[in-house]
Structure 1
Amino acid sequence: MIVMREVNLRSVDLNLLVVLQQLLETRHVTRASERLNMSQPAVSRALQRLRDTFDDPLLVRTAQGYDLSARGADILPRLQKLISGMEQLIAEPQFNPAEAEDVVRVYGLDLEVACFVSPLMKVLRSQAPKMRLEVRTEPRNHFELLEKGEVQFSLTGMEPQAGEGQYRRLLIAQSGVVCMMAADHPLASEELTLDNYLSASHGLVSMTGQGPGHVDERLAQLGRKRHLALRLSNFMTAADFCETSDLLFYLPQIVAQRIALGRNIILKPVPDELRSAPINFYLYWHERHHRDPMCRWIRQRILQVI
């Protein structure tokens, strides 16, 4: 039975393994030095250190030149496999969409997903047919899902309240705000002023189901308040309630235009006092996925399709 002696790797110069591979493959100090772009004396010194490390000559002189010792012959195939594995470990991984079977997990509210993610499916089907897209739209904290690694991407116009340095983001769209109402609403033919806007009842789409909306915070600054008759957790149903009631909805224009299609609904400019800077929609991802080849490819495709 052969017993292996214990080795302290910290005492071994692992750079010598590259030299050893060339020495064992060429069985010649000069040719090894040429392959390594090193001087012959430097390779000779490295060979001596390797002999000390392995406690074996590794290369032995014969009538035809140098040959491998029994230990050298045993080491060579394992060393070649080891060096190849180390090169693959260090090399940047390559992503081949045509063969990839990855799962892309995205979170966003229903209309954000419809506007910005649904076009991605066509790209995946044509360029990465073995990949799968999983979309989550239930009311959740966008950034909590990223932090826990439950999704790779999150679509939102919101910004993280904590841990901002953990996230990367890409601006994918900007949108103004509009007021959405039924086409037969009493205010449909009027210019919206702050007073007649506040005389109506309102619906609010809230992802978390908690807290006031952006427009309510703005009204509070003005010392005003609106009557909130309905709170929803997704955009898709807003059109149903809007079309069949007297409720007004203050929405991003890009979202309102999407849900108003084919409906008895109109969009009107909001009162001057409630106009805001454009709403930015971002694609967020966690730092852990920033250099992942698949995630980089997905980000590039999203930019293309939107």
Structure 2
Amino acid sequence: MLHLQLRQLDLNLLVILDVLLDVRHVSQTAEQLNMSQPGVSRALAKLREAFDDPILVRTSQGMLLTARAEQLRLALKPILTDLDRMVQTPEFDPATDRSLIRITGLDLEVGLYFPQLLKQLRLQAPHMRFETVRQELDSFPMLERDEVHFSLSGLHPMHAEHALHRKLLDETPVVCLMWNKNPLAQRPLRAEDYARAPHGMVSLTGRGPGSMDHVLERVGLKRSVALRLAGFSSVADFVEGTDLIFTLPKKVAEYIARGRELVLCELPDALQQPPVRFYLYWHERYHRDPRIVWLREQMGRSAWMHA
């Protein structure tokens, strides 16, 4: 019943009613609202019909509010204030904001890109809180389910792409990572040497060929994968002191090789492929959220992704 009554009332009339209840005069209400006097009179007639009450009554002392109008006057202002707040663009001040922002991505991707950004954000938004959420096999459904605000990923969504937005963070070539005493590290790498070497690969699913298997197939070669890992965190331990080689984005390989006896080698010319691109993804529901807009702007202004 409440919804039915609201549907019968033009909410624009409440703005006119608010002024009428204050000034108690049709012509003065018209002047304040930059309306015609007949327009305010028609609005008053509709209000009287909607509330089944005269609202204003003429007396020897001028126009007075009815008892019902007095009740409306007390209730109306906070309602209009709430409605006004609802339709206004939400205010955002990074210096005082205490939002919790959730980010997902592979551990190495988060470790590679997020710390530098966080250092910058802590200076401008000292009360904003952040949480990294363990990534599932595919982080994009996590965005759809509103479990995270951002996803750091070098992958592309398989579905619901229309509901996702993205920003390019970085692009990096693909290289080989190997022990610095591996014989292949002592000379330029040939495609045949690459194919014959025992390979390690990081596979989130643990199934199917990697991208380099398709590259090799195009030139009539095939490799042997001796080790599959579910993540990047232990790659250095498996490469150092062995003949295994991993094919990785250069930024990732550099991060893994820090402080280890590992080297990066360029892929043979015949096996070169386009650079790997890392993106920041977010869902349409947050596309105009002032917090998310501000965070995206900080990422665009910062040199953190090129560190």
TM-score (ref. length: structure 2): 0.92
5+ residue gaps in structure 1?
none
5+ residue gaps in structure 2?
none
Aligned partner of 2:87 among 87, 90, 94: 90
What are the superposed Cα offsets for residues 18-50 of structure 1, whole Å, 9 maximum, x if unpaired? Answer: 111111111111221111110112111211221
8 Å contact 1:104–1:132 — kept in the other structure? yes
> Is 1:68 the equivalent of 2:61?
no
Q: Which letter maps to 1:267?
A: L
CA distance in 2, matches of 1:204, 1:250: 7
Matching residue of 1:128 = 125
1:205-244 alignment, distance < 5 Å: 205-244=202-241
Q: Which letter maps to 1:74?
A: Q
8 Å contact 1:180–1:266 — kept in the other structure? yes
CA distance in 2, matches of 1:182, 1:6: 71
Out of 117-126 and 250-259, give the one that drifted further: 117-126
Deviation >6 Å, runs of 4+: 4-7
8 Å contact 1:139–1:208 — kept in the other structure? no
Matching residue of 1:267 = 264
CA distance in 2, matches of 1:96, 1:265: 45
1:14, CA displacement in angstroms? 2.1
CA distance in 2, matches of 1:27, 1:19: 11
Aligned partner of 2:152 among 142, 150, 155: 155
Matching residue of 2:104 = 107
Equivalent position SS for 2:46 = helix
CA distance in 1, matches of 2:252, 2:268: 19
Count of residue pairs the alignment pairs up:
303
Q: Which letter maps to 1:128?
A: A
1:148-227 alignment, distance < 5 Å: 148-227=145-224
1:302, CA displacement in angstroms? 2.6
Identity %, equivalent residues = 46
Equivalent position SS for 1:188 = helix
What are the superposed Cα offsets for residues 240-296 of structure 1, whole Å, 9 maximum, x if unpaired? Answer: 222221111111111111221222111111011211111111111122222222222
Equivalent position SS for 1:72 = helix
8 Å contact 1:205–1:234 — kept in the other structure? yes
> Is 1:25 the equivalent of 2:44?
no
Q: Which letter maps to 1:179?
A: C
CA distance in 2, matches of 1:6, 1:157: 48
> Is 1:297 the equivalent of 2:287?
no
TM-score (ref. length: structure 1): 0.92
Matching residue of 2:46 = 49
Equivalent position SS for 1:172 = strand
Distance 1:65 1:296, change over 3 A: same
Equivalent position SS for 1:202 = strand
Equivalent position SS for 2:274 = coil
Matching residue of 1:10 = 7
Q: Which letter maps to 2:277?
A: N
What are the superposed Cα offsets for residues 117-146 of structure 1, whole Å, 9 maximum, x if unpaired? Answer: 122322343333333211134552111222
Equivalent position SS for 2:95 = coil
8 Å contact 1:168–1:284 — kept in the other structure? yes
1:78, CA displacement in angstroms? 0.7
Equivalent position SS for 1:187 = helix
Aligned partner of 1:278 among 270, 275, 278: 275
CA distance in 1, matches of 2:125, 2:137: 29
Aligned partner of 1:39 among 36, 50, 53: 36
CA distance in 2, matches of 1:6, 1:174: 53
